[in-house]
Structure 1
Amino acid sequence: MSTSASASAFPGRKIYLIVAAGAVVMSMALGSRQTFGLFISPLSYDYGLPVTLIAFAIALHNLVWGFAQPLAGAATDRWGPAPVVAFGAAAYAAGLAMTALASSGWLLVLGMGVFIGVGISCTSFGVVLTAVGRSVAPERRSMAMGLASAGGSLGQVLMVPLVQGMRSASGITVALMVLALLVLATAPLGLALGRRPSALAAAADPGLNFSLREVVSQACRHRGYRLLTVGFFACGFQLAFIATHLPGYLELCHMPMGLAATALALIGLFNMAGSWACGWLGGRFRQQRVLGWLYLLRSAAIGLFFLAPKSKLSVTLFAAVMGLAWLGTVPLTTGLVARIFGTRHMGTLFGVCFLSHQLGSFLGVWLGGLVLDLTGSYSLLWGATFAAGVLAALLHFPIDDRSVAAPVATA
């Protein structure tokens, strides 16, 4: 069966519905997560919790997200995204509510660390982009996933100022409870992404025609997949550190109140253009090369921002450039996995790769809090984020992106 058959299984309007539903789900999931840095100081002052513990809880949700993502991807490959998204939205909302009512450190760690980690694994890239990637022909896949990622960035633009306003007017408890309700409202949207993977699409794109265990084993022996997975660690390390600790860093630099929220919102705004552009570039150039240059752009922005005098202008320019390079790695990485291995097990294979990303996220958040407590400065972490991006670029350029699906299936 030809590739066009796969595309014909999803008419144009259906594709747009899938992209729109995926964008809304990711907007709420990623937009809510983008605000966590705004809660560190209030949770410490109002609830009497140490900054190290709060940073650990935020770091833990990244780690739980990483370990849960292969399971969420496998569940999506088997049952489709609808039940996975519904379960994830409920778990995410429960975690936000527990954080709002946290009367002790263990409740904060359980809510923000465990429940939110499980919830976001079911409502973000590994589930949503898998559904989007299966809905279109291979030549349009990168663009469609970039468009969904760009739409998902809208939540980052809207949620940060919304939470900042609610936090100032009504306190963090109200702000977190409103976030919980908004996330829970996305549960039915999983139906628009599809109940089960299309049999027609699976027949058109067989991918690795083996069991799940054999597929993962085959991928882990692939040199390009290993390089992609190790490089993705740097992405998580950079983004989690900046999203969580940029507000605290700007406070140490005596920047005006509210500038951190503006910077995070600008990152989300420019990420919309950046994700779309990366999806477009990934459809026209080799995706591993686009990824390599993207990591170099990030490192250049990080290094210049750290060395430059801090002002509203330097913060604004840094947020804009980082936004352009923020989540563009995700559709490119997902598309590269699909290009090499096909789409049948894309959720699982991206989930394994994403585990590395979240290990980096855990260390970026946790080490940021630890280094600040020990040294009173973030300087070591800014240097580490710069070096991580350069190393990731060097790992991505030599990746071999030739498809292995056909030779393995034939064998």
Structure 2
Amino acid sequence: MSRLHALRPVLPILIGASVMLSLAMGLRQSLGIFVPPLTRDIGISIGDFTIAVAIQNLTWGILQPFAGALAVRVGFRPLMVGGSLLYLVGLVLLATSHSLWAVIVGAGLLIGTAMATTGTAMAMATASAAVSPQVRSMVLGLVSASGSLGAMLAAPLGQSIARDWGWRMGVAAFVVLALIMLPAAWNAGRVDRSRPPPVPGHAEQSGTHALLGALRHPPFVVMSLAYTVCGMQLVFLTTHLPAYLDICGMDPMLSAQALGLIGGFNVLGSLFFGWAGGRVNKLLLLGSIYILRSLGFIWFFHAMPSPGSTMVFASVMGFLWLGVSPLVQGWIAQTFGLRWQAMIAGVAFFSHQIGSFIGAFGGGWLYDLTHNYATAWKIGATLGLVVGTIQIGFAFLSRIPAPRLAA
């Protein structure tokens, strides 16, 4: 109870970071519900739309390390507020698009850039800097859990509006929700005031030195590579699950309900893994998540879906969804310190986004090539089993000394 009481002064920061992350992740994860009507309306294929999603993820991944490094120089607030504005512009462009290029710029480049400053790495670094090490893992779990609440609201709302008034009005509803990101980002930016001033006569470690130290640490390299498959699996689902269910003749609302259920169970999973990360080897938990996800893929996709199996699958995937985030972010903060956490986490996240690019674009490309998703899900499941096993093996090597960076 005393630890929770100690969080009271930083609650505005934590709430701001949570709301910003919830909307940034929830709106982005729910864009897949617009794929069937959008592609039919403007005359593009599913593969064409996934080019935009792939570019979004790749842009996010490329810019994330630079955003993390820039936060050390200029502070979190300017980046998070600016990213929230970009997010709004991207959604407006998507809602008014009549060509593939408008979709690519709006849903791809602009939202991808915005995610680098409003997404997981920045929100988690903000929360880490605001609290003590004793409660950090728990707080990261709470903030990560908030990242799914937006999907619980956005997916059903967007689907309902799109069904009654068209997909453009559904995206317009997302624009209204995204307005809330602006005050949330501003409040989260209060963490800039708590950053310790430079110590006179003390040479601060450079970002280059911090990055090289992380890249020479084998458990970090393995964790980052395994993160690639994580991104591949998750973005394949958020991008292609609505289309897959549509192809299988399911009710369009089922995909929105599934995405909402993923969000709901993600709350439980993030809280659990945030709690467990303070008690169990974080790398061991990461490997277990990847293996369990892959087994879920095999169970669900090997036969035609039903409403019941879809709901069970969504629940399992939701529980295993963003639980990765508090584990990765907590391990990086614990291993390398806080000062360059956002940048180092951004480098790991770049690997995640390479996988996201493959999951979005590769899934669409394989579907256009084979006219089904069988090859795509089998590749995702197999790679998940392999990297999960390797990650667990390296969990036992996690005591390899890491270069301790300045906090």
- The structural deviation recorded for 1:339 is 1.2
In the alignment, what sits opposite 2:308?
313
Q: Which 10-residue stretch deviates more, 15-24 or 261-270? A: 15-24
1:337-377 deviations in Å (ceiling 9; x for gaps)? 11110111000000011000001001101011111111110
Inter-partner Cα distance in structure 2 for 1:218 and 1:197: 28
Alignment match of 2:131 (pick from 136, 140, 157)? 136
The question of whether the paired residues in 2 share the 8 Å contact of 1:134 and 1:201 is answered with: no
- The structural deviation recorded for 1:171 is 1.4
SS in 1 for 2:249: coil
Inter-partner Cα distance in structure 2 for 1:186 and 1:134: 20
Map 1:210-221 onto structure 2 (within 5 A). 210-221=205-216
Inter-partner Cα distance in structure 1 for 2:291 and 2:222: 16
Q: Is 1:345 the equivalent of 2:343? A: no
Inter-partner Cα distance in structure 1 for 2:307 and 2:295: 19
- The structural deviation recorded for 1:166 is 1.2
Q: Which 10-residue stretch deviates more, 129-138 or 341-350? A: 129-138
Q: Is 1:303 the equivalent of 2:261? A: no
Inter-partner Cα distance in structure 2 for 1:201 and 1:388: 45
Map 1:1-400 onto structure 2 (within 5 A). 11-193=6-188, 194=190, 196=192, 198-200=194-196, 210-397=205-392, 398-399=394-395, 400=397
Unaligned residue ranges in structure 1 (runs of 5+): 1-6
- The one-letter code sitting in structure 1 at the alignment partner of 2:22 is S
- The structural deviation recorded for 1:82 is 1.1
Under a length normalisation based on structure 1, what TM-score does the superposition of the two structures give?
0.92
Q: Which 10-residue stretch deviates more, 83-92 or 300-309? A: 300-309
- The structural deviation recorded for 1:229 is 0.6
Q: Which 10-residue stretch deviates more, 143-152 or 299-308? A: 299-308
- The structural deviation recorded for 1:77 is 2.4
Q: Which 10-residue stretch deviates more, 368-377 or 395-404? A: 395-404
Q: Which 10-residue stretch deviates more, 182-191 or 280-289? A: 182-191
1:26-70 deviations in Å (ceiling 9; x for gaps)? 111111011111111111111112222111011110110101111
Aligned residue-pair number: 398
SS in 2 for 1:153: helix
- The structural deviation recorded for 1:293 is 1.0
The question of whether the paired residues in 2 share the 8 Å contact of 1:279 and 1:328 is answered with: yes
- The one-letter code sitting in structure 2 at the alignment partner of 1:404 is A
Under a length normalisation based on structure 2, what TM-score does the superposition of the two structures give?
0.93
- The structural deviation recorded for 1:387 is 1.3
Unaligned residue ranges in structure 2 (runs of 5+): none
In the alignment, what sits opposite 1:404?
402
- The structural deviation recorded for 1:202 is 8.4
SS in 2 for 1:49: coil
- The structural deviation recorded for 1:18 is 2.3
Inter-partner Cα distance in structure 2 for 1:310 and 1:200: 54
**1:80–1:395: structure 2 CA closer, same or farther, 3 Å change rule?**
farther
- The one-letter code sitting in structure 1 at the alignment partner of 2:194 is S
Identity rate of aligned residues, in percent? Answer: 35
**1:45–1:308: structure 2 CA closer, same or farther, 3 Å change rule?**
closer
The question of whether the paired residues in 2 share the 8 Å contact of 1:82 and 1:189 is answered with: no
**1:173–1:340: structure 2 CA closer, same or farther, 3 Å change rule?**
same
- The one-letter code sitting in structure 2 at the alignment partner of 1:62 is N
1:220-277 deviations in Å (ceiling 9; x for gaps)? 1111110011010011000000111011111222223311111111100000000110
